[in-house]
Amino acid sequence: MFKRDVKSIKELILRNLREQGLETPLLQKRLMDAWPTVAGEIIARYTDGVTIRNQTLYVHLTNPALRQDLSMQRSDYVKRLNDYVGSQVIADIRFH
């Protein structure tokens, strides 16, 4: 009998994305889209834009007091966002 190497569709898609160099951009997009969910509705209301450069998430906030408050919780948000995506996508967050 032949022994088959059965893999799930998820494994095959992830391997294909990794081979084509598309896994990281996909994870970055998922992380940016997760910001309103992870941060919460009130913080999302004051968020003007989210981008990623060099494993750093840049969040533009319209409220200076909120910016200062979130800066003190940076490591918590880094962990929560990476956990939400399921991979180490960012290493830091900068609020401006």
pLDDT one-digit tens code per residue, 15-45: 887 888 788 899 999 999 999 999 999 999 9
State the first-to-last Cα distance of the chain, in angstroms, to the nearest integer.
62
Confidence of residue 3 (pLDDT cuts 50, 70, 90): confident
Confidence of residue 81 (pLDDT cuts 50, 70, 90): very high
CA 43 to CA 18: how far, in whole Å?
33
What DSSP character marks residue 3?
A: P
Phi-psi region of 10 (alpha: psi -120 to 50; beta: other; left: phi over 0): alpha
Task: For residue 45, give every residue at least 6 positions away whose Cβ sits within 8 Å of its Cβ, in sequence order, or none.
Answer: none
Question: Has this prediction a pTM greater than 0.85?
Answer: no
| CA–CA distance, 15 with 94 (Å, rounded to integer) | 31
Nearest residue to 87 via CA among 11, 26, 21, 45: 26
Statement: residue 63 has pLDDT above 80: yes
Dist CA 2 CA 84 (whole Å): 40
